[in-house]
Structures are given as structure tokens and as C-alpha cells.
Structure 1
Amino acid sequence: MSRLNLFTTKKPRKKASSNRKSRRLGRNLQSLEDRRMMAGDVATAELMPLESEYFETSTLDPAAQANWTLDPIADLVANSGQPLETMLTVSGDVETEALFFSASIVSTIEQQLDAQYDLVESDDYHTNCLGNNERWIRSANGGWFYVMPSGEFYQWQGSFAKSTLLADFDSSHYDNPDLIAEPESIDASVHVEGDILVITPDADYTGSFQVEIDATDGTHSASQTVMVAVAESIPEETDTPDETPTANEPLPVLMVIANQDFYYQEYGDTRQSLEAQGLEVVVAATTTEVARPHANSGQGADGGLVRPDLALTDVEAEDYSAIVFVGGWGASSYQYAFEGTYNHGVYNSTEALKSTVNDLINDFVEQDKYVAAICHGVSVLAYARVDGSSLLEGKTVSAWAGSAPSSDQPIYTTRQNIELNGGTMVQSGAVGDPTTVEDDVIVDGRIITAENYDSAAMFGRVIGELVSEPEYVDAVFAEWE
């Protein structure tokens, strides 16, 4: 043990309160106190062995005997400087409104070790001081720790045989012990707004971390841990494009969704096709609050939440090339002339909202612009009234033939909604290839309709092609000439 007298640096200063430590141990030899400690004569801090691996992500940990569970969330991908919103949902016999959600960032193993032992960053980690190629780290209270070439991290107990394994890192922590002594901070914030998880990484932060999500109804609780990977955001264009429309460019396309229960794939695939053709898309709904889709309607890991660009009351038809109503049963709230009451209260909107939607459709018709809808959204056109008649009277359309939301009226399908208002609806798969509904898109005058989510991609392509035709663009932009 003659090599123990190599440690004679001064006792480190007290740890600073700033986010990063400024202390550095010197390269000089340690005092007698240090030698005694390494020989096992000085009491060490309370032991707390830790695991170095992350907990398994996206796992469910419901409380025992609870009659509900917290639905798993897949690992998330965020961009630096941009908030990521994810809806938290549960399954079982409980109302979401009765739950309280919370979330917090899980400390890394390195951060936990540093917090417990107050490890000190050093200029010299005394490699191979005791002959095992170990590298040494000191704590501010005088304890010693070492990391082996393979990454195992130990608390020194007077000998290698008696030392306590605290974590099993990889070799990078041996190459750079600062990863343990000076762990990197997680520069992100996490909170919950109602049932929406909001994760906001700092503008210059990239990396990964874990978030623990908790839910409780006051009696039972459940939790899960999800991994969040943060990628660097792509810088936005610095040049401001000329926003003045020209006769060679179509106006944006307005997509209308419901704030509750719109069909996500019908929205997403249609929008993707429109934007692939270079068209700008603007989204409107009853309010600009986050819109939630039907469950299992094609949304991804982020839950399919969409924040509308503006409320329907703020829309001016003259600003758009076409209006598109997305399906999903939430579209029922826009049916102007429907006289019944839906069993699901969220589908029963105010007369003022219905009048706003009907006036908007009339404005598009008066300006000779395309009015489009997909799936149950076609029922909005059926109940629209232009000069006292249904917009679909005498028109042929494609739409979802299946069930419609329950109400106090003897109307059980979307087809009935259309046919009761004078429209003719084709059979499923009746357009183009009879073996598929992917091409079931019908254009009748200025009315464009599509069957359902299978047809959404072509629906967007057809709308994009029609509103981009030079003759149509010239007509829409006549006032600019």
C-alpha cells in the first residue's frame, strides 16, 4: 500500500450553488486524512447501490385493486425549443375529469449519484493509482470512489474486495469520469395541463431523458415511465416570403375539423396530399383549443392532437381556394338543418355555430369555389341550406355508408342523412376500381366528396389538382387582376 501516499491534494472547497461546479482537485499528493480514509480508517457515507440502466420504458404500473389503468404511451420524439403535447388517457371504470395527472423528469443515475455523494470534478483522476487501471473520484465530504475500464463504478471501502458496486456504466464513463462527477443537466420542462402532457426542451438541448407520469383518483393511482428523445430543430427560413397572392398561385385550402371526435387519418392523409402539391393548409374548428380525434382513427404516438389555426367565426371565404369538412362523428355539430338532439352532448352545438357554418358554405358557393367533404363530413353539406334547399339536392356523392351517431331521430346511417336531404350516394367501391374504396372520390360541379379514410389521400390529390387549375386560379384571383 505504499502508493497511497500519492494522494496529498488539499481538501476541496464546499460545492458551489450554481448549476455547474467550478471546483477542480489539483495534481498534488493527498494528506494523511486521505490516506487513512483509503485504508478504511475513516467512516464512509451511507451506502445506496444504484442501477445504471434506464428503467424499461413505456411500462404500466397500475395500483393494486384499481378498476382503471393508465393507457401506455409510446416513446416520444421532441424537437429542441418546441413544446410537445400528448393526451393522457385511461381505460376502465373512471371518468377522465375525476383524475389528477402529474409528471416529472426522472433523474439520471449519474445525477442521483452526484446528488447523494456530492462528487467532485477533478483535473487528475489518478489512473492506476492502486494497480487495477482504476480511475478515482472524490466526494466533497472526503469519500473516495473509482471507475473501472469496463465502466463499473464503486465506492471504496478500504480494499478492492470490500468496495461496493454502485452502478454499471459503459466504458465511456471510464474514458471521461466527468460524466459521473459532473453529470449533464436535462434542460427541459415538463408539466400537465388537465389531461395534456406538455414537454418543452430548451432551444439548445438535445439528448434523451425519462418522464414519470402519474394519475390518481384520490383512492387509487397509476404511473408509467416514458422515454423522450430530443432532436435538433431545423432552423426556419430567415427570408420572409411575399404573402401577396398572385394569379399563378392558388389561395390556401381551409380544412374544418371538430374540436372533439374528428377522424384523424381523414384529416392527416388529406392534408399531406394537399401540402405535397405545394398548397398551404389552414385548419379551423369551433375554437382554437386543442382538437381531439376519435380513438384509433389513425393518429400516431402523439395522440393526434391538433391545435386549429383559427375559429370558424374568424374565417373569411375570400381568403381560401376551397373549404374541406373532415369526417368523424364530431362533424355532426356543424349540421345546420338537423332538427334532432344527439345522445352524445358534445355533438349538439349552438344555433349560432350552425348558422356560422351555413353562412360560410353559402359564401364559398356564391364565390363559385369548391366545397368538399369526406366520410361523415358529407352530412354537413347535406344539412346546409342554400336558397332554401340542401347543398346536395340533386348531387351525387360518395360517403361512409355505415352508422351515424345516435339521436332522438330515426336516422341511423350517414347515407340516410344524405338521402333525406335529396342527395344520391353511390355504393362503396363504386368509383374506379370496384375492389377498393381508395379511389372513391366524386366531383359533381363544385362539390367534391370522398368515402372515408381509405380515400383520403386521393381526396387531397383531387382537391389540389382542381384548385390549382389555371382557369380556376384565374377565377378565384379575378379581384387581384
Structure 2
Amino acid sequence: MAAKKILMLVGDYVEDYEVMVPFQALQMVGHTVHAVCPDKKAGEKVRTAVHDFEGDQTYSEKPGHNFTLNATFAEVEAETYDALVVPGGRAPEYIRLNQRVLDITRHFAQANKPIAAICHGLQILAAADVLKGKSCTAYPACSPDVRSAGGTYVQIPVDEAIVDGNLVTAPAWPAHSRWLAEFLKVLGTKVEHPEIAKV
């Protein structure tokens, strides 16, 4: 398996699990992951938010961990990366206003490189206008964004994921195991499961 270089677009109040889990899991299997935020540098932090489903009409939000960026947004050269990860939370709503975020996102779509987006992360893909003709999912409240951008929104269980070509999407963090497993397939990453010796 060739290790890949993966870019992750985040911002303040990115969803805690949706940044922490893929950032660590993708490194665990040998990939390089650079997490960047507009107007911030390597070593600086973004705040995260914990979104939970507690029986209300929408998710609740609580403070999460601080997450340390390991690369500088201003230095990103999209051409040098193999894939893109877009977590959800509140960050996508405002970092999509940054023209360079949209340009970077378009690079991955136009080059047909793997893109994994989850929950509100689809707001960035919609704003970058890269969902035309794509079947995808998102947090249900983002379905109008997907449809307005020409994508086909598919409602699936919260712990499932959808693959359409280079694009891997999921509704929210309960889908992490499926979303990341499908993303690894699109990346061409094979994880071996040796038989556990019986005692």
C-alpha cells in the first residue's frame, strides 16, 4: 500500500469526533494527514464542538477538545495532496466563504481525487459547486444545499455511508466506521486482518 498525503479542511467549532477520529485513524494506517484552517498556522488550535442526538428536534452542542493544526493553510498546494477530508460541525458554514477553500475543494473534484465529507461538510462541496450529478448524503438539514448544488441527496441511516465514484459521504459521526472503511477502499488502502491465534 502506498501511503497517501491527505488534506483536511477545518475551522473553529468543527465537530469534535469528525475531526479527531479521521485525523487519527488515517494516520494509524500509514497516511499523512495535514489539518489546516483559513488564517491559521501549524501549531495553532481550533476549538471543536460536540454534537449529540439527545431527543431534541436537532442536535445539541457542547464544547469539545481543542485541536492542534499540523499544517499552515496559506502554504497549502492542493496539487501535492492525494485526497481531501471535510469534517462537519459549524466550521463548514463559514469557511465556505473563503474563496481559497472553494478553489482547493474544486481541485480535488476536478482531478477526480478521493473526497470524504461528512455531516455539514457537504456545505463546502455545495458552495464549491462540485456536486452536480453526484449521489451523496449529509446531515439532513444540509439536504437543500446538496439539491441546490445539483447533487442527489440520499437519506440513509445515520451509521451508513454512500460512495459515488471518488466521493464518500455520511450523515454524521455514528457512521465513522463505515465512512472511513469506504474511504480507505477509494484510497486503495488495504488493511490486513490476520487470524488471531487460538490459545
TM-score by length of 1: 0.35
Other structure's SS at 2:4 match: coil
The alpha carbon displacement at 1:270 in A equals 2.0
Other structure's SS at 2:3 match: coil
Matched, 1:291 2:71: no
Other structure's SS at 2:67 match: coil
String of CA shifts for 1:405-427, please: whole Å, max 9, x gaps.
xxxxxxxx311111111111111
Residue 31 of structure 2 is matched in structure 1 by 279
String of CA shifts for 1:75-105, please: whole Å, max 9, x gaps.
xxxxxxxxxxxxxxxxxxxxxxxxxxxxxxx
The alpha carbon displacement at 1:469 in A equals 5.2
Could you say if the C-alpha distance between residues 303 and 328 of structure 1 is closer, same or farther in structure 2, counting changes exceeding 3 Å?
closer
Other structure's SS at 1:291 match: strand
How many residue pairs get aligned? The number is: 177
Letter in 1 for 2:162: I
| Distance in 1 between residues matched to 2:147 and 2:35, nearest whole Å | 29
Other structure's SS at 2:109 match: helix
**CA contact 1:269–1:460 (8 Å) conserved in 2:** no
String of CA shifts for 1:43-68, please: whole Å, max 9, x gaps.
xxxxxxxxxxxxxxxxxxxxxxxxxx
| Distance in 2 between residues matched to 1:365 and 1:303, nearest whole Å | 30
The alpha carbon displacement at 1:263 in A equals 0.2
Letter in 1 for 2:7: L
Residue 21 of structure 2 is matched in structure 1 by 269
Matched, 1:370 2:122: no
Matched, 1:323 2:72: no
String of CA shifts for 1:209-260, please: whole Å, max 9, x gaps.
xxxxxxxxxxxxxxxxxxxxxxxxxxxxxxxxxxxxxxx52322111111x1
Matched, 1:393 2:132: yes
| Distance in 2 between residues matched to 1:364 and 1:330, nearest whole Å | 19
The alpha carbon displacement at 1:295 in A equals 4.5
String of CA shifts for 1:293-342, please: whole Å, max 9, x gaps.
11466xxxx9511121223322112322201111002211232xxxxxxx
**CA contact 2:115–2:167 (8 Å) conserved in 1:** yes
The alpha carbon displacement at 1:364 in A equals 1.9
Residue 461 of structure 1 is matched in structure 2 by 181
- What does residue range 299-378 of structure 1 map to in structure 2 within 5 Å? 303-335=64-96, 349=97, 354-378=98-122
**CA contact 2:134–2:164 (8 Å) conserved in 1:** yes
Question: Could you tell me which of 147, 152, 176 is aligned with 1:424?
Answer: 152
Give the unaligned 5+ runs of structure 1: 1-247, 336-348, 385-389, 402-412, 430-436, 471-481
Give the unaligned 5+ runs of structure 2: 53-62, 191-199
Residue 219 of structure 1 is matched in structure 2 by none
**CA contact 2:16–2:64 (8 Å) conserved in 1:** no
**CA contact 1:273–1:457 (8 Å) conserved in 2:** no
Letter in 2 for 1:396: S
Percent sequence identity over matched residues?
Answer: 27
String of CA shifts for 1:247-305, please: whole Å, max 9, x gaps.
x52322111111x11001111222333233222221111113310011466xxxx9511
| Distance in 1 between residues matched to 2:70 and 2:137, nearest whole Å | 28
**CA contact 2:118–2:138 (8 Å) conserved in 1:** yes
| Distance in 2 between residues matched to 1:333 and 1:374, nearest whole Å | 16
**CA contact 1:312–1:357 (8 Å) conserved in 2:** no
String of CA shifts for 1:336-378, please: whole Å, max 9, x gaps.
xxxxxxxxxxxxx5xxxx2211211222234331122110001
The alpha carbon displacement at 1:395 in A equals 1.0
**CA contact 2:3–2:30 (8 Å) conserved in 1:** no
Higher relative contact order (CA 8 A, sep 6+): 2
Letter in 1 for 2:106: N
Which of the two has greater helix per residue?
2
| Distance in 2 between residues matched to 1:423 and 1:312, nearest whole Å | 28
**CA contact 1:257–1:331 (8 Å) conserved in 2:** yes
Residue 379 of structure 1 is matched in structure 2 by 123
Please identify runs of 4+ aligned residues in structure 1 that moved more than 6 A: none
Could you say if the C-alpha distance between residues 449 and 398 of structure 1 is closer, same or farther in structure 2, counting changes exceeding 3 Å?
same
Could you say if the C-alpha distance between residues 296 and 399 of structure 1 is closer, same or farther in structure 2, counting changes exceeding 3 Å?
closer
| Distance in 2 between residues matched to 1:268 and 1:457, nearest whole Å | 13
**CA contact 1:270–1:457 (8 Å) conserved in 2:** no
Other structure's SS at 1:255 match: strand
**CA contact 2:49–2:65 (8 Å) conserved in 1:** no
Residue 55 of structure 2 is matched in structure 1 by none
Aligned-CA RMSD value:
2.2
**CA contact 1:327–1:377 (8 Å) conserved in 2:** yes
| Distance in 2 between residues matched to 1:271 and 1:449, nearest whole Å | 16
Other structure's SS at 1:391 match: coil
